[in-house]
A = this chain, B = another copy of it.
Amino acid sequence: MSNPVRVGVAGLGRMGRLHAYNLAERIRRAELVRVVDAELQIAQEVADELRTDASSSFEDLVEDPTIDAVVLVTPTVLHVPMIVAAAAAGKHIFCEKPLGLDIAEAERALTASRSSGVKLQIGFHRRFDPNWKVARTHIETGELGHVMLFRTSLRDKGPPTDQFLSGPLRFLAETSIHDFDTARWMIGEVEEISVFGNAISEEVKRAGDVETAVIVLRFESGALGVIDNSRSARYGYECNTEVLGSRATVRVGNNRRNDVEWLHDGRAVRFLVDDYIGRWPHAYLAEMDDFVSAVADERSVSVTGEDGLAALMLAKAADLSLRAKRQVRVGHRFERGSVFYEIIE
């Protein structure tokens, strides 16, 4: 058996802790060497539980010559500088979405990883969910025929707290970005994007932000796409997708937490998940397993930094459409096997 991939995790919010747990307990080919959080106490608690080391300094990951890879689950603003530092130190990188909120910055991260020859994988976990994989296979085999419509809903429980109210770009780049990636991955490249948003609660209105977004895509293939996102669905967290084809249609359901029905007082109740952690534990494990395998087997990652940049560009175009109240056309070119988007008008 080859040596395990030695990994450090930076950022120990709920998502970071889940990645750390999977690396420590569920992925045989990985060894969790160290966990880092700005708050040392948190890092120490996680380290104790997972029987690994703790630190409050990201440098302790970058400068450790025994570490092969880092997993970045830090605030978005730290993604690019951490990628640049890790790449310079020759560490492979798994980075949560989005790459950042600024295109030039994100490009800098890509350049850094590319020139250092390290792998960079972005956390678009939905590509690793078996339901979406099955649906995509139905498209790829041609069974579905020509895609006419891609429809997807993503609902966060919310409502957003003050901390998350900083204009629609953040919502589009942090939440809708999953749908942009899913759209590209399942259907293909996008030509035009139109966004409509609203806010109901006073706090969100005051902040000039949106709670609900409807995003219409026109794909290069002629297919239409429609995404609806809510960050205040209140009832729970849900995600579903439907692809209408000229031969057949495929639908991925909300896939609730369990298949238990509770019958009481004239009601049949199904219990919903609260958030993405409850909805996708298997996909978070699968994406990390895949990243570790890519490092161990010295193969390409399945979700590239360029995929992260493409989705971010769509979020930017979406933000422009929302502000300018018009359709925004985007173009793309291929370079070295990767797609690069630009806003045309």
Q: Hey, which bits of chain A sit against chain B, CB under 8 A?
A: 1, 24-26, 28, 51, 130-131, 134-135, 138, 145-146, 148-149, 151, 153, 155, 194, 196-201, 211-212, 214, 216, 218, 222-224, 226, 228, 230, 232-236, 244-256, 258-272, 274, 325-327
Q: For residue A130, which residues in chain B have a CB less than 8 angstroms away from its CB?
A: 258
CB–CB B258/A131 < 8 A: yes
Q: For residue A230, which residues in chain B have a CB less than 8 angstroms away from its CB?
A: 148-149, 244
| CB-nearest residue of chain B to A149 | B212
Interface centre among A131, A223, A268 (most CB of B within 10 A): A268
9 extra interchain contacts, Cβ-Cβ under 8 A, other than A194-B196, A230-B244, A266-B272? A26-B26, A148-B212, A196-B224, A235-B268, A236-B263, A248-B263, A248-B264, A252-B260, A268-B272
CB–CB A200/B148 < 8 A: yes
Number of copies: 4
Chief secondary structure at chain A's binding surface: mixed
Q: How far is the CB of A219 from chain B (nearest CB, A)?
A: 9
Q: For residue A153, which residues in chain B have a CB less than 8 angstroms away from its CB?
A: 151
| CB-nearest residue of chain B to A248 | B264
Cβ contact of A246, chosen from B149, B201, B247, B248, cutoff 8 A: B201
Q: For residue A259, which residues in chain B have a CB less than 8 angstroms away from its CB?
A: 131, 252-255
CB–CB B263/A272 < 8 A: yes
Q: For residue A134, which residues in chain B have a CB less than 8 angstroms away from its CB?
A: 258, 260
CB–CB A251/B261 < 8 A: yes
Task: List 11 A-B residue pairs with CB atoms under 8 Å apart, sorted by A's residue number.
Answer: A26-B28, A134-B260, A198-B224, A212-B224, A216-B216, A226-B228, A253-B259, A253-B260, A254-B259, A269-B269, A326-B327
CB–CB A214/B216 < 8 A: yes
Q: How far is the CB of A114 from chain B (nearest CB, A)?
A: 32
Instruction: Please report the C-alpha to C-alpha distance between residue A338 and residue B224 in the assembled complex, in whole angstroms.
Output: 35
Q: For residue A155, which residues in chain B have a CB less than 8 angstroms away from its CB?
A: 244
Cβ contact of A28, chosen from B25, B223, B271, cutoff 8 A: B25
| CB-nearest residue of chain B to A245 | B234
Cβ contact of A222, chosen from B198, B251, B253, B258, cutoff 8 A: B198
